[in-house]
């Protein structure tokens, strides 16, 4: 006589998705997880993701290739690489060029004309840089009463700050008047020379 440690109920427990008694207090497993039709549907969906026939296939002029050529994939990788500076510069992205950003960069390039008493090195490039980042200077709590700019005096861009600066406008106006007087003197000298040449003839 042999004693059995398990009872055979006659039910195909594995095919039905496990026992209907759940000991962990959660929801019992449904039989649909092992459904062969659903597995086939999932595999079909994965295959159709790679398919060239999409929802707007009839609007295209030509049938797109099933697999990319080596040259096309190489160009795509190059375009992805050019979006950032690379791992050596922490993958810094090129910002979107707006009119405000262009104005700030122009002001930085012409910074030598803002303060005639301060010397700046000559610009080492003709155009604007491709990769750069703009930051905001955070005020220190120590300088709250001494060197803090009030919120009503703060501007969004550098150009707006320069236009709001009275001292900068005064020096700019003075410089403009000086240039105009020099041009006027140069123009009158040229006219006089022309008059003398005609008289000699």
Closest CA to 7 of 23, 24, 19: 19
Ordered by start, the domain boundaries in the chain are: 14-48, 148-201
| Verdict on whether the full-model pTM lies above 0.85 | no
Give me the tens of pLDDT residue by residue for the chain, a chain 201 residues long: 555 556 666 656 566 555 555 555 555 555 455 677 777 778 877 777 777 677 777 787 777 776 778 898 899 999 999 889 988 888 999 899 999 999 999 999 988 887 778 888 888 888 899 999 988 888 888 888 877 888 888 888 888 888 888 777 888 888 888 889 888 888 777 766 666 666 665
- Of residues 169, 110, 175, 138, the one with CA closest to residue 161: 169
């Amino acid at each position: 006589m042999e004693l059995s440690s398990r009872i055979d109920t006659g039910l195909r427990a594995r095919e039905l998705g496990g026992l209907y008694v759940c000991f962990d207090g959660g929801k019992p497993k449904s039989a649909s997880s092992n459904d062969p039709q659903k597995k086939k549907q999932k595999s079909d969906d994965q295959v159709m993701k790679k398919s060239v026939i999409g929802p707007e296939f009839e609007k295209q002029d030509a049938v797109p290739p099933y697999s990319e050529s080596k040259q096309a994939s190489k160009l795509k990788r190059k375009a992805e690489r050019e979006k950032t500076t690379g791992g050596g510069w922490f993958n810094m992205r090129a910002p979107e060029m707006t009119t405000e950003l262009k104005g700030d960069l122009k002001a930085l390039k012409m910074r030598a004309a803002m303060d005639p008493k301060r010397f700046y090195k000559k610009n080492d490039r003709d155009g604007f840089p491709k990769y750069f980042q703009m930051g905001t200077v955070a005020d220190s709590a120590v300088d709250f009463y001494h060197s803090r700019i009030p919120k009503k005096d703060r501007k969004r861009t550098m150009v707006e700050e320069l236009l709001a600066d009275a001292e900068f406008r005064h020096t700019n106006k003075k410089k403009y008047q000086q240039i105009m007087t020099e041009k006027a003197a140069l123009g009158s000298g040229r006219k006089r020379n022309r008059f003398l040449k005609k008289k000699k003839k």
